[in-house]
Structure 1
Amino acid sequence: MTETRTRATTPEDLARLFVERANAGDAEGLAELYEPDAVLAYPPGATTVGREAIRAVCERMLAHAPRPFQVEEALPTVHYGDLALTSTRPADHTGGRVQVARRQPDGTWLRIIDRPETRPEIRPEIRPEIRPEIRPEIRPEIRPEIRPGAGAE
């Protein structure tokens, strides 16, 4: 990590640092908030694995996302040893943001799992190879047995 960047001393710091770095257009700094093998469920309908892949997705996201990003209302953090589950109530009403962070040996925190949106939208400008017309699992109208709010049978 670059020593000049602020590091998260609590799991809750990660959301604030994400907003600061996103508003600065710092994709590399965003990627440094994740462990090297972290998993990012973004764009919706896709899984991005590893810090380098996360950096590339962040670059595309920053090129298309409206700014400024806002710090969102934090929900209570759940701790279990060196793991923490954090979440925020999204200002853009995308359903919820949840992350799992892990305490590092030096006491700082990094994300290991990040699901920034739960609403199944596809952002072709960020991940053009994912198109709703070829992903029936994210188009309930194609598979009528999938209904919003329906539980697994």
Structure 2
Amino acid sequence: MTDREKAARPEDLTRLFVERANAGDAEGIALLYEPDAVMAYPPGRQTVGRDAIRRLWEQALPHMPAFEPEEPLPTLISGDLALTSTPPKDGSGARAQVVRRQPDGTWLRVLDQPEFITQRE
């Protein structure tokens, strides 16, 4: 078990991700995902499963700059599913996640699209 904070609301997941990424806590990031979650990262690929997500962040975090908090857009909730999204501060597209309410009332990511890159003309 872990004593890490859990997401009481879907929007908490983004804040917790930023906090854990900036702390270099790859395991803590992975715990924000369901065991079979799918993340569309690195660009052009998919990372499937909590263990693979943890391994990806263990490798990536030491080489990344600090993450900046981003203000979430309004969350869409339908029953135990929610869609969360944030516009990146650099204006380079969008981020979106499908999250699910867990039996204890907390939320975890199921699908994570951390980058939608828009084509600029």
If the length of structure 1 is used for normalisation, what is the TM-score?
A: 0.75
Q: Give CA deviations for 1:86-140 in whole Å, capped at 9, x if unaligned.
A: 00010133310000000000000000000001128xxxxxxxxxxxxxxxxxxxx
What is the distance in 1 between the residues matched to 2:98 and 2:29? 16
What is the distance in 2 between the residues matched to 1:46 and 1:93? 22
What is the distance in 2 between the residues matched to 1:94 and 1:52? 28
Query: Secondary structure in 1 aligned to 2:115?
Result: coil
2:92 paired residue among 91, 94, 103: 94
Matches within 5 A, 1:48-59: 48-59=47-58
Query: Secondary structure in 2 aligned to 1:6?
Result: coil
Query: Secondary structure in 2 aligned to 1:9?
Result: coil
Higher strand share: 2
Contact 1:38 1:112 in 2 (8 A): yes
Query: Secondary structure in 1 aligned to 2:9?
Result: coil
One-letter amino acid of the counterpart of residue 51, structure 2: E
Structure 1 gaps, min length 5? 121-147
RMSD in angstroms over aligned alpha carbons? 1.4
2:83 paired residue among 79, 82, 85: 85
Contact 1:44 1:118 in 2 (8 A): no
Give the C-alpha shift of residue 48 in structure 1: 0.6
Paired-residue identity, %: 66
1:43 maps to what in 2?
42
1:106 maps to what in 2?
104
Structure of larger gyration radius: 1
Q: Which runs of 4+ in 1 moved over 4 A?
A: none
What is the distance in 2 between the residues matched to 1:92 and 1:62? 19
My pick for the range that moved more, 52-61 or 77-86, is 52-61
Query: Secondary structure in 2 aligned to 1:22?
Result: helix
Structure 2 gaps, min length 5? none
Give the C-alpha shift of residue 6 in structure 1: 0.3
Matches within 5 A, 1:9-88: 9-67=8-66, 69-88=67-86
Q: Which has the higher contact order (CA 8 A, sep 6+)?
A: 2
Query: Secondary structure in 1 aligned to 2:104?
Result: coil
One-letter amino acid of the counterpart of residue 22, structure 1: A
Number of equivalences:
120
